[in-house]
Every structure is written in structure tokens, then in C-alpha cells.
Homo-oligomer: A and B are copies of this chain.
Amino acid sequence: MTADPAAGYPADLLELAETYLQQLDFRADPRAATLAEAMRYSLLAGGKRIRPVLTLATARSRGADPRAVLPAACALELIHTYSLIHDDLPAIDDDTLRRGRPTCHVAYGEDVAILAGDGLFAEAFRLLLTCQQGEPEPVLAAVTEISRATGVQGMVGGQYMDIAGAAADDDDLRTLHALKTGRLIEAAVVCGALLTGADDVASYRAYAAELGLLFQIVDDILDETGAAAELGKSVGKDRAQDKVTYVSRFGMERAAQLADQAEARARHLLRSLPGSAPDLLAVTAYIHRRRR
């Protein structure tokens, strides 16, 4: 019997994020209630809330109350959910299952799903801008970080490279994932640092970049080995769609070694950060050991 992969995962931070997300109702006009419902349907499908937990854990590692960065932390989960909804659309990945439930467009129709994604993206900025406490400068820095992380030099650029099949060599593969998933994970850590007064965020960024790489290698491994029921999404899709992954490029054994190395580098970089970071260490371990 293997150990619980979530052992040590900061349950109190997960609960903080989950509770905050649950109470977001977007205060839509009653005539747009179904749109808000579709947004909440995808947002509240559960999961380990890795991005907000990273923001909260980074804040706590710096001696700050994690609750002080909840709006920024949860804004990142809204953005992550928006990207999943659009990725799942028939014209993109055409996925019908996500977190164990029908995807947003299956449940609400393709038109509503497009707008639900758009709405979550806008509401993420509104949440951060209207609810995040702090001096104007760090709030501006955090929202700037998020806008960079989500644009063509970030998440959307990576999503494009993915659909375009632009990963021809190892550098392409690294760049694609660094943009598509890594950049938002990086922003989660960096926002936690910025909003708690970090002057130099480069060391946080370096740690988070390794974490993003680790996340993606494990994702590729799980797409090959995971069970749909456990993973909560369709499996084997990467191979079926002929996508270049860490597994298809390096084989399963080498991919597992690359994951080990990425975690080792992440742990090393974590030790160079100020303060004590047991939560970040636990999240790093979880990202490696998770089974979905």
C-alpha cells in the first residue's frame, strides 16, 4: 500500500481557498443567473486548488496571514478554471469529462461555456482589483504579473502552441508547457511574494518554474498511467491526439527520472527562500506524488 499522496498537503490553506471560492456568486443580474451557475459549476468541481494554495503558502512562508492574499489567490483559480473550460471546447481538445463531471459545454452548451470562460477571466481581475487589500503598488504588481502570465507570452501562447502541434524538439516542449501551465503556477507563487512585500521575486520565480515543470511531467505520466475514474478526466488523450509529451519523447522511465530531478531542484531552490516553508515543501511533494 502506497502512502496517501496528499499527506502533509496544507489542509487549512485548501479549506481557506475552498470556502472563499464557494461564497463567490458573481452577483449577476437574475437574467444572467445561468451564466453565473455555469461559472460556479466548473469552478466548484473540487480539486486540490494548487494555485491558490501556492499563493497562500508563499504568504505564510513570509510570516504573513494567508487570509490577507485570498482574493489574489482565488483569482488564479478562476483563471485556471477559465482556461480548462476553453481547452475542453469541441473546437480545441473536445473533452467531455473534467474533474469527474461533464465538462462545462456538455452541461450548459458551447455558447454558454465560451462566455463562462470569458466571465471567469474578467471576474478574476475584478476580484483581485476590488477585494485585495494592500498598497496600490503591490496590488498593481500582482495584477500585472497575472496579465503577463495569461497573455500570448504566457498561458494563451502555450495553448496555441499546443493546438498547433508546435512542439518539434525538446526546447519547444519545454517552452510550450512553461507557457501553458508553468506561467500561471509561477504567477501564483510570485503574487504571494509580491503582496507580502518581497522586493526581489526572482528566487520565488525560479522555484516556481521548477514546480511548473514538475507539474507537467507528472501530468504527462498520469495521462498514460492514470485511471479515468481516479483522474477525473479522459486519459490517453495525449497519445490519441498525437501530442508530444514528456512520456512520448523520453519514455516512461526517463520521464519519471526527470520528475525526480525537477522536484530535487525545486526543493533546493526552496531552501534559498527567506523564512520557513513547510507548506511549500508539502505542495511540492504532492505535485510529484499525486495520482490525478
Interface centre among A27, A119, A166, A175, by most B CB within 10 Å?
A119
Would you give the shortest CB distance from A27 to chain B, in whole angstroms? 6
Contact A152 to B35, CB < 8 A, known contacts A129-B143, A140-B129, A144-B126: yes
Copies in the complex: 2
The answer to whether A126 and B114 have CB atoms under 8 Å apart is: no
| A233 CB → nearest B CB, Å | 19
Question: Is the beta-carbon distance between A129 and B147 smaller than 8 angstroms?
Answer: yes
A99-110 contact mask (Cβ, 8 Å, vs B): 1 or 0:
000000000011
Q: Name the distance in Å between A96's Cβ and chain B's nearest Cβ.
A: 16
Give the residue of B28, B130, B157 whose beta carbon is less than 8 angstroms from that of A152: B28
Which of A13-21, A86-94, A201-209 is near enough to bind chain B? Answer: A86-94
Interface size on A, residues (CB 8 A): 57
Which residues A143-176 have CB closer than 8 A to chain B?
Answer: 143-144, 146-148, 150-157, 159-161, 163-164, 166, 172, 175-176
- Rounded to whole angstroms, the CA-CA distance of A176 and B35 in the bound complex is 14
| Other-chain residue from B92, B122, B152 in contact with A32 (beta carbon distance below 8 A) | B152
Known: A122-B147, A126-B148, A147-B125. A115 touches B159 (CB 8 A): yes
Q: Is the CB of B32 within 8 A of A157?
A: yes
Bound: A156/B39 CA distance, A: 12
Contact with B along A132-150 (1 / 0, CB 8 A): 0000110110011011101
**Which residue, of A111, A152, A166, A175, has the highest number of chain B Cβ atoms within 10 A?**
A152
Say how far A158's CB is from chain B's closest CB, in angstroms: 8
Residues of B within 8 A of A148 (CB): 126, 130
Q: Does A29 contact B (CB under 8 A)?
A: yes
Asked whether any CB of chain B lies closer than 8 Å to the CB of A246, the reply is no
Does residue A260 face the partner (Cβ distance < 8 Å to B)? no
List B contacts of A29 (CB < 8 A): 152-153, 157, 161, 175, 179
- Subset of 23 A-B contacts with CB under 8 Å: A26-B153, A27-B153, A28-B153, A29-B175, A31-B172, A31-B176, A32-B160, A35-B164, A36-B152, A86-B114, A86-B115, A112-B163, A114-B114, A117-B118, A118-B121, A121-B122, A122-B152, A125-B146, A125-B147, A125-B151, A126-B148, A129-B143, A139-B140
